[in-house]
Amino acid sequence: MRQNKPTRKCVEEKELLVLSFTVKTSRLVSVFRNRSGVSPVIVSGLADPIFFCLSLLPSMSDLSLNPAAPVADGPAVEDSNVSLPAEASASISDVDEQRNRPSLGSRVWRFVRQIYRGIGSGIEFLFNVFCLVVCLAALAAIPIVNLIPLGMLLAAEGNTARTGRLLPGLPLRHAAGQIGIHVIGALLFLLPLSYLGSFASDAVLIDPGSNTTRILRTVAAVAAVLTFFHLLLSMARGPRLRHFFSPWRNVRWGIARLKQGSLAIELGEGLRGFLVQLELKRHLKLGAVGAIGVLMWTFLPTFLFAVADSSRGGQVLITIFGGFCLAVVLCWVPILQAHYSAEEKFSAYRAVSHARQLFGRSPCLWTLCLLLGFGLSLVLYLFKIAAPPRDAVFLLTPFFIATIYPARLAAGGVYAWSNNRTQKAWWPWRWFWNLACLATCMVYVFLLFFTRNIGAHGKLVLFEQPFLLIPSPF
């Protein structure tokens, strides 16, 4: 019995049937999505099985006839493009868009992956900031070199002052994170090596001529050489902690670079690029000029404030006059220093008129900024009651850096806000905050007077000014 083969007319009917069902289904889903109170995510999830079933239907190419096969039970039809209704043709793109839409499971997995990446980025950011504070503290604990962290703080304040954003105020966080990874990776191998060296030294003290002592000394020497080359190759490959746990890959990488003759070149270029990224010369200049500019304004009032040794007669008047002058100067010096950090010119310390304009545009913010900076400085003065041992200076310096850094960024942010405004505040509002700012500085100077009696450095503690100069416990 002869089987009937599909004709082109039958194929056209099947195509129109599939298109009609698809269009009606997509319309039903869109109407339900717009008129119902159900979340679009839930509606899309409910519509996914429908479009999955549509994807299981035969494609148009499978429904078409083979030109080589004979056509039976129907009149011959010429090969021509089938013209579809305009409404059905316009809906094909909507159907394809719904069909290519990711499923609910893939969207949930993408959301979970974004959360995981966000948590990882947050942990990396906190680690970099922690390493930045520790690195600045290590430099601030060294005399004269501590001008470099002062310059870095001024550079961070200047970046925030120019951009108006806080993230540019942490420019060296990536470099500090690289240093932190290298230090952690090195400590993981140097601590066991130190224990092995202590065993060898103890064996030399107990029995220097025994075989055990010679073996321990040989093993310690070989381990030291291998550790040195392993750490060198691990650091040369890049700031990744996993490089410290893949010694064979490090060896293969080093041998390949030696064959190419590029190992020394890559090490030199990497070290040179890292030093260029730190910009030590620029930060040293910023710190030195910034300290000179602050002392230009504060040295004479502080000297008059600290020179009196007696509470009688004219010496009291000198102390009061010096304290009042210091309070007035401290109202403007933080603004001038923020202007210097943004312009990086020493002439910015003489732009008093510009500082008055900036204060007049945002008097409330500047007063709160000064209150924050000088309040944190008073907290740091409590750590200067007793001079810490030289070994403990490094333990206190990170606290000083972490305390003053937010105040620096706040000053830069207020400078950017004031610099972008063109209109001054209402004059009663300005005068109110002028008096409030002066009162804040006078209270700070009054409390500062007693620090010379409790500070380990005596009257010299009055010249330190952690908010404006080097934040260090000595």
Task: Indicate whether 52 and 177 sit together in one domain.
Answer: no
What integer pLDDT is reported at residue 448 of this predicted model?
A: 86
213 found inside a domain: yes
pLDDT band at 5 (very low <50, low <70, confident <90, very high): very low
pLDDT digits (tens, 9 = 90+) for 93-115: 555 555 566 666 677 788 888 88
Please give the residue that has the higher pLDDT: either 291 or 44.
291
Task: Indicate whether 353 and 272 sit together in one domain.
Answer: no
Is 50 exceeded by the pLDDT of residue 64?
no
Is 50 exceeded by the pLDDT of residue 428?
yes
Task: Indicate whether 292 and 272 sit together in one domain.
Answer: no
For the segment 42-69, the average pLDDT, to the nearest whole number, is: 42
CA angle 379, 384, 389 (to 5 degrees): 135
What integer pLDDT is reported at residue 423 of this predicted model?
A: 87
pLDDT averaged over the chain?
Answer: 79
158 found inside a domain: no
For residue 429, give the DSSP letter. Answer: H
Domains contained in the chain, number: 3
Final residue belonging to a domain, choices 46, 73, 101: 101
Looking up tokens 């942490």 gives: 170
List phi, psi (to 5°) of 300.
-65, -50
Start-end of H helices in 344-474 = 352-361, 363-381, 390-420, 427-454
Task: Indicate whether 43 and 192 sit together in one domain.
Answer: no
Task: Indicate whether 448 and 420 sit together in one domain.
Answer: yes
Task: Indicate whether 317 and 372 sit together in one domain.
Answer: yes
pLDDT band at 78 (very low <50, low <70, confident <90, very high): very low
Is 70 exceeded by the pLDDT of residue 361?
yes
Choose among 400, 445, 420: nearest CA to 298. Answer: 445
Q: Which residue pairs, CB below 8 angstroms and at least 24 apart, start in 125-132? A: 125/173, 127/177, 127/180, 128/170, 128/173, 128/174, 128/176, 128/177, 128/180, 129/170, 129/173, 130/180, 131/173, 131/176, 131/177, 131/179, 131/180, 132/170, 132/172, 132/173, 132/176, 132/177
Specify the range with the lowest mean pLDDT, choosing from 40-44, 155-159, 348-352.
40-44
For the CA atoms of the chain, what is the radius of gyration? 37
Give the residue numbers spanning the domain of 383.
Answer: 282-463
What integer pLDDT is reported at residue 23 of this predicted model?
A: 54
What integer pLDDT is reported at residue 71 of this predicted model?
A: 41
457 found inside a domain: yes
Choose among 329, 338, 327: nearest CA to 418. Answer: 338
In angstroms, rounded to a whole number, what is the distance separating the alpha carbons of residues 274 and 133? 18
Is 90 exceeded by the pLDDT of residue 117?
no
Is 60 exceeded by the pLDDT of residue 336?
yes
DSSP string, 311-379: SSTHHHHHHHHHHHHHHHHHHHHHHHHHHHHHH--GGGGG-HHHHHHHHHHSHHHHHHHHHHHHHHHHH
In angstroms, rounded to a whole number, what is the distance separating the alpha carbons of residues 405 and 150? 10
Final residue belonging to a domain, choices 278, 293, 327: 278
In angstroms, rounded to a whole number, what is the distance separating the alpha carbons of residues 51 and 10? 24
118 found inside a domain: no
350 found inside a domain: yes
CA atoms within 13 A on the CB side of 143: 2
Task: Indicate whether 313 and 422 sit together in one domain.
Answer: yes
* Percentage of the chain modeled with pLDDT above 90: 34
Say if CB 443 and CB 408 are below 8 A apart: no
Task: Indicate whether 290 and 409 sit together in one domain.
Answer: yes
Specify the range with the lowest mean pLDDT, choosing from 333-347, 387-401, 427-441.
387-401
125 found inside a domain: no
Choose among 303, 418, 407, 413: nearest CA to 356. Answer: 418
Task: Indicate whether 226 and 241 sit together in one domain.
Answer: yes
User: Which residues, other chains included, contact 243 with Cβ-Cβ below 8 Å and sequence gap of 6+?
Assistant: 185, 234, 235, 237, 249, 250
Q: Which residue pairs, CB below 8 angstroms and at least 24 apart, start in 380-386? A: 380/404, 380/466, 380/471, 380/473, 381/448, 381/451, 381/455, 381/461, 381/466, 383/473, 384/451, 384/455, 384/456, 384/457, 384/461, 384/464, 384/473, 385/454, 385/455, 385/456, 386/456
What integer pLDDT is reported at residue 334 of this predicted model?
A: 94
Final residue belonging to a domain, choices 278, 297, 328: 278
Task: Indicate whether 336 and 405 sit together in one domain.
Answer: yes
Task: Indicate whether 73 and 89 sit together in one domain.
Answer: yes
What integer pLDDT is reported at residue 54 of this predicted model?
A: 44
pLDDT digits (tens, 9 = 90+) for 211-226: 888 898 899 999 999 9
128 found inside a domain: no
What integer pLDDT is reported at residue 457 of this predicted model?
A: 65
Task: Indicate whether 442 and 348 sit together in one domain.
Answer: yes
Specify the range with the lowest mean pLDDT, choosing from 50-64, 263-277, 397-411, 445-459.
50-64
Please give the residue that has the higher pLDDT: either 317 or 299.
299
154 found inside a domain: no
Both tokens of residue 337? 């220093």
